[in-house]
Every structure is written in structure tokens, then in C-alpha cells.
Structure 1
């Protein structure tokens, strides 16, 4: 059944741009990653240029035509910027509105007053888990990290002590808990029960996020002790403001995109008819772009007007909000280009071919395959889709609970060790102002802890239910 799944998946996949064998591809992957790391760490070359050169090196060593390598890289860069870039831009505008109006001050001051001291990491992981449930990881970062940076700065907390729990909450939701898009893809592929998967996903997610978030952050803060980067922190609004938005209005504005996207997910589950008018409406208003755009427009009335901002101040505010993210957009886009080059050279197919004859339990097989594809391509989504397609036939003889656990095993494996071929790696690095090594010590290790702990809990549950 596993071999049949591989053949079906391979039939649907586009032909690679090179005919290199597995050994050559493996060498090309290692060389491409080594070039990127060496250029950044030793030669201090900008990450955008390093990723571009690393992609070309990967393609050349894999024996792919240079024109096709360039096409793969630019296609991946364009797709990443199209999918994430606009969201980052809208999030930056919303963050600037929150900062200049005093709304961010209101949120941070309230959090500091209600959850100080040792409770702060737990408060951040809870907030991130709630916000991250319906969101793509990148959207959650855009909405939450500016608040994390402000809390760390104002409350004099270690950035890693506050940031790691927030990232853990977002990442665990991303990989394990429907109605997040990743788990929903796997649920559909293996025909799992949504309700059972949701219940077991929450059961696995709670201890996983505690271990990878508040507990691991203690060690991460010792390994990497860096201040919140001033260039990414929304500055405190001028003390000359006579008024600032209320806590309720500010919180409602921040949560508006979350509510709209969660509503879309729920409507998709309840109706599941693409021709239904209600579902089509929610598909539009619940898309990340429209949801964030709506928050920006609503913020004009809930944030700027109460603070006394006139129309003439809106354009300068937007321009100032966009300025700090230019470098981030290029780096994240180049990370997407490197990922697409890996995929188009056939690295994902290589992993599937190597794993098709493994004789191990289905849940462990699903986790290992997802891990391999994640390491090779840098994409949790590609890892989820590919692993689910590979092991789907194995679910035919499984019980309802074990089919749900199969989905969770795939999700856990798809989060393993994010590194330089993952756009999320560069997003976290730039927002937190870390070096490549510091990002690996914190973010990459945290992702690995999530993957291993969640995978272990899934295997444990399979023995008792």
C-alpha cells in the first residue's frame, strides 16, 4: 500500500528540472545549505544575497539548467512575497497605527498590570495559542510579535523568555490543531474524523506547547540573551496625546482578523459546499488579506480617530510603517525561492522514493517521512501534503482514533527543525534581530522539541486508545 501511494503521488507531481540521482541531489542539498550558512556567518553577506547564491549553487551541483534554476527561484520568491509579503505589509501598517495612536501602549500596559513576573510566559503562550488557531504562522507572527517585543522592552523581560512561548503557541496550532489549514489537508487526505482529530489534537497540543514554550524558554533565554531590536519595536506614542483608544476597542481591532478567519474555517466545516453563497462570502472576508485589510480600515476609526489623527497624517503613518520591513520581505521571499528550487530539483520526490520500502509502524513512518520532507524542502505544508498522500492507503484498516493520530503524526513531523530553507526561519530571525546561530539555538530547537514531543505523545496514545 505504501508503494502504491508513492506511485500515485509521483504521478501527480511535476517532473523535476534535473535527472540527477539521489546521491547527487543529496550532495547538492548539503552544498546549497552550506553555501548559505558560510556566506552569512563567515563572509557577513546579506541573507537575501546568500539565499540567492545558495539556490544557484544547489541547482548547478544538481545538474539543472541554469535558466530553469532561475525560473524556480524567482517563482518561489514571487509566490512567497505574494502570499506573505502583502500580509506583512498590512500587519506593519496595523502595528504602526497601534503604536502611534497609543493603542499598543494600552494593550501592553494592561498585560503588564494583569500578568507580571513568572506568569508572563504563560500568558503569552495562551494568547498565541488562541490567536494562532485559525491563522497561518506568518500571519500570527505579524499580529503578535510586535506586542511581544513591546512587552519584553517595557517589562524588562528576556526576549526569549517571552518570545519562545508565543512562537510555540503559534507553531503548535499550525501543525496539530484543526481548523488550521495544515491539519485540515491531512484530515481530508486520510479521511479522518474532524471532531476526533480536533479533540486528540488539543490533548497532544497542551503538554507539547507547555514543554516547548514556557519550560524551554528558560533555557533559550540563557543560551541567547539579546534585547528586543529597537528597529522592530513600535515606539511609545507621544505623551502629548490627549486621548488614546480604550483597551476593548484596541483588542477588538487586533482580534478582528482572527475572528474573520476563524469564521471562514467554521463555515467551511459546517457547509462544505463551494457553490453555497454563504460559504463563498466567508471565503472572501475570511481570507488573510481581506481580514487584515479590514482591521487596518477599522483601525482608522477605532484607533486613529480617538487619538485625534486627521486624514493628513494617514499617508505619512503608512509610509513610516512600511519602511522597516523592506529587508524582511526580500529575505523571506528569497527563502521561498530556495525552497522552490529544492522542490523543483526533485528533492521531495527523492525523500519519497527512499522511504517507500521502510517496514515500520504507520504512525512512525508518517512522522519520519514528514520530517525528511520538512528538512529537505523547508515547507511544513509540502511535508504535510506529501506525507499524507504517501500514508493515506494505510488508514484504510485503521480505527477512527488511529486515523486521527495518523494526521497528528504527520503534523508533528512537518514541524521538525526549521532551518535556512524555511521562510519562517528568516521571519523569526529578522523580527527578533538574531544571528543565524542564535536562531538555530532558539527557534530551530523549539520546533524540534515540538515535533519530537508531539510525535512521542501520538505514539503513546496509540498504545492506550
Structure 2
């Protein structure tokens, strides 16, 4: 069946059925996201009337395309985070920020630490690594744990949702064909007000909730040995700086200088992350081979999910929903709000920011011309709008929600009142910043 002969009802039916199946399998039955996405491909393809051979061929093509473009970036980013964690660099950086801010502003300090540490490390891993420090500081400062935990969690969460090489935003960047360097740079900037709003909301909403801090003696222990502050921050700062310089440099000149050619090479995200890994490895005293193996193995699990998202996106492309919706002027008028709302609904329904933004990217990609975002800057705006949507709402179906709760000794009620509502604030602040960015870029 040709794509242009599929009726609108059939196209939308396949789309909604696929999304509903993903939500049901991942949220209700706890099926691994890859298999949920794979089954959604089969269901959607069947509803669209595609032959089984075409469905399987499309699945293989979708997996190969997305992993081919993102695989190396995900592997390198995951490995860098693990090395920084095991070398003690993250804790050195955390202690440095604490010395600068003081225990009286401990919640703000943990929010800043979360933002910085969250650049190379996934939010759940970062929270686990810093949970001991967070508990110890809560005891020393007398700040309620719900404020401390939510402040740290929102700092980590802001960069996780908005900045490559984190898997969701990276996959969306590949699917939408946006420029990785600029998505990283702008995402890093937008994550600042997102993180601050998370802290301010945590302090406001949690001020009347006094939660007893765990008496776990291990919680008060912090790593005192590690690299210097400079060597702790360089593996994170250098890759970001290289990518940012490359993105902002005018590399399209006819005869670039040797320096510009060098920047063009070092600023490639994969090369920049490799530079960060080499810097981080200099601080490891042992277990280098074990960490490299662990990094590759951890990245494999992420790539499987991303591959499933690529397959689902390839199946959705067969529905040619964009040509149908292009005739609806109200959709075009929504602009960046459409990717934001679609991602937010998916995130709230099934819990995973990564799955939400990967699925949303597959839906949005053919709609870029309709939304007026089929330009270099428009694609960046679309990706960042989806990143903002992937923040809200984190609640009981989100694994990160439970990491925060369990490692901080917090009850669900307190988490919902402070952290979950905080993710709503973060998402709204982020999409407002994306809108302002779109105005700025349109004026260039």
C-alpha cells in the first residue's frame, strides 16, 4: 500500500495505537522499552496495512540509521561519566562548590553541583553518587531532606533532559537532524534557568515539610581523596568548550586557517568527548580496562532503546501523518508548543524521559515544515522544545523518582508535593526560554 493512499483515520489510528501500547507495556507491565517499541512497530505497521516483510525491513533500517549516527556519541559519553565517577572527580567538584557556597546555602550548593556533575553523568547515577554527600550536608546544615534531595535532583535533571550526550536529547537531535554542537550549547544555557527554578520551587514547596534524615552512618562519608579541582573539571569543561567554539566559529570560509581546521576537528562531538576521556583517564590509578568495558556495556543498554525508537520512527514515517496534518492550520499555528506538549504527554504517561523524547522526535520529524521549523535553527528549537517537554511530569512511573525517594529516605507524598510539582515548573520555564531563544535566532 502506497503511503499517500493511507487514510487519515488509519494513519492516526496506527500512531495512537502504537503510543498506547508503549505506555501500557512500559508503565503497567514493566516491559523493557526496546521490546515495547518493537511490538509497537509491529502493531502500527499492521494497522497501516504494511506487509510483514516491509515492516521488518523498515525496523532494521530504522535501527541501523539511528545507531549509526549516535552510537559512538552515546558510548563515549557514558564512558566519560563512569570514569569521572570512579576517579572521585565528581565528589572533588562537589566539595569545591560547597566550600564556595557554605553550608548555610547547602540546598543551592547541591543544585549547582547537580547541574555541573549532571553534564557527563546520567541523572540517576549522579544522584546515587552524590546521595551520601547530600545526606551529610543535610545533617550539618539542618535543612529538610526533601529540599536537599529535590534541589540536587532538579539540578541533575535539567542537563539530563536538555543537553547531549544524554541519550534522549541526543537521539532526538539525530532524528530531527539538528546540529549537535548548537543543541548542546543552547541546551546547557537553558538548563541554567531550569535548574534554578527547580531549586527555588524546592525551597518554597519544601519549607513546611520536615523529614527526618536517615541515620545511616555511611551517609556522612565523603570521598576526601581524588584529583585536583582543575583536573576534575577539565574532562567536562574541555569537550564542552571545544564543541561550543566549533559551533560558534565561521568554519564555512573558503580557505580556513590551520587553526580553524584544527577547531573543526577537535570540536566534533565524538572527538571532543574522546579528549575528555583521555584527560579523565590520567586521574585513574587502576581498573582502566574494567571501566572501559563497563562503559561499553552500559552504553549498549541505552543504544538498544534508542534503536527501538529509531525503528518506531521509521514505521511512523510510513504513515505520512505530516501530509495529513499539514492541511490543519491550527497545528501549524502551535509551532514549538506542539513538540513540547506531545513529549510532555508521553513523559507523564509512561515515565521515561528518554522514551518520551525519542518517540516524540519520530512523530515530529515529518511535521517540521508544517510547524515552520524546517530550518537549521528551527530544528534546534524543536529538539529543545521536546527536551523541555521530557521534564514533565516526573512521578511514580519514573525510575528516577524512585532513586531520589529510596536514596533519600523520603515518602511518596513529600516527593509528589515538592519534586514532581518542581518538574512542572522546570518544564514551563524551559519552554519559555526556548521560545525566547527562537525569537533571538529569528532576528539573526
TM-score greater than 0.5 by the shorter chain: yes
1:214 to 199, 220, 225: 199
1:55: how far off?
A: 1.6
Contact 1:28 1:62 (C-alpha < 8 Å) held by counterparts:
yes
1:265: how far off?
A: 0.8
d(CA) in 1 for partners of 2:26 and 2:243?
A: 37
Distance change >3 Å, CA 343–CA 457, structure 1 → 2: same
Alignment of 1:204-353 (within 5 A): 210-211=196-197, 213-215=198-200, 244-267=226-249, 270-273=250-253, 276=256, 278=258, 279-301=260-282, 303-304=283-284, 307=285, 309=286, 313-353=287-327
Contact 2:8 2:324 (C-alpha < 8 Å) held by counterparts:
yes
Distance change >3 Å, CA 388–CA 120, structure 1 → 2: farther
1:417 aligns with 2:389: yes
Contact 2:194 2:429 (C-alpha < 8 Å) held by counterparts:
yes
1:252: how far off?
A: 1.0
d(CA) in 2 for partners of 1:252 and 1:456?
A: 32
Contact 1:16 1:345 (C-alpha < 8 Å) held by counterparts:
no
1:73 aligns with 2:52: no
Aligned residue for 2:154?
164
1:169: how far off?
A: 4.7
Distance change >3 Å, CA 391–CA 332, structure 1 → 2: closer
1:258: how far off?
A: 0.7
1:261: how far off?
A: 0.6
Contact 2:82 2:121 (C-alpha < 8 Å) held by counterparts:
no
Shifted more, 292-301 versus 151-160: the winner is: 151-160
Contact 1:284 1:290 (C-alpha < 8 Å) held by counterparts:
yes
1:99 aligns with 2:85: yes
Alignment of 1:99-118 (within 5 A): 99-115=85-101, 116=103, 117-118=106-107
Contact 1:16 1:346 (C-alpha < 8 Å) held by counterparts:
no
Instruction: Give CA-to-partner distance per residue, 1:271-313, whole Å, 9 cap, x none.
Output: 4337635544433221111111121122233x12xx4x4xxx4
Instruction: Give CA-to-partner distance per residue, 1:299-335, whole Å, 9 cap, x none.
Output: 233x12xx4x4xxx43223223444444333223222
Instruction: Give CA-to-partner distance per residue, 1:36-79, whole Å, 9 cap, x none.
Output: 22222333322221111112111111222322322333333233
**How many aligned positions are there?**
374
d(CA) in 2 for partners of 1:365 and 1:126?
A: 31
d(CA) in 2 for partners of 1:459 and 1:287?
A: 24
1:124: how far off?
A: 4.6
d(CA) in 2 for partners of 1:316 and 1:244?
A: 19
Contact 2:18 2:44 (C-alpha < 8 Å) held by counterparts:
yes
d(CA) in 1 for partners of 2:67 and 2:229?
A: 33
Distance change >3 Å, CA 66–CA 337, structure 1 → 2: same
Q: TM-score, normalised by structure 2?
A: 0.64
State the SS of the aligned residue for 1:378.
helix
1:251: how far off?
A: 0.7
d(CA) in 1 for partners of 2:292 and 2:379?
A: 42
Distance change >3 Å, CA 121–CA 447, structure 1 → 2: same
d(CA) in 2 for partners of 1:209 and 1:284?
A: 32
d(CA) in 2 for partners of 1:324 and 1:236?
A: 25
d(CA) in 2 for partners of 1:408 and 1:281?
A: 25
d(CA) in 1 for partners of 2:272 and 2:62?
A: 24
1:249: how far off?
A: 1.1
Contact 1:121 1:214 (C-alpha < 8 Å) held by counterparts:
no
d(CA) in 1 for partners of 2:161 and 2:78?
A: 21
Q: TM-score, normalised by structure 1?
A: 0.62
Aligned residue for 1:120?
109
State the SS of the aligned residue for 1:44.
coil
d(CA) in 2 for partners of 1:341 and 1:114?
A: 52
| Unaligned ranges ≥5, structure 2 | 136-144, 165-171, 214-220, 347-357, 393-397, 406-414
Aligned residue for 2:74?
88
Contact 1:81 1:333 (C-alpha < 8 Å) held by counterparts:
yes
State the SS of the aligned residue for 1:63.
coil
| Unaligned ranges ≥5, structure 1 | 1-14, 132-139, 175-180, 189-193, 228-234, 396-403, 421-427
Distance change >3 Å, CA 349–CA 284, structure 1 → 2: farther
Distance change >3 Å, CA 372–CA 253, structure 1 → 2: closer
1:160: how far off?
A: 4.4
State the SS of the aligned residue for 2:5.
coil
Aligned residue for 2:335?
366
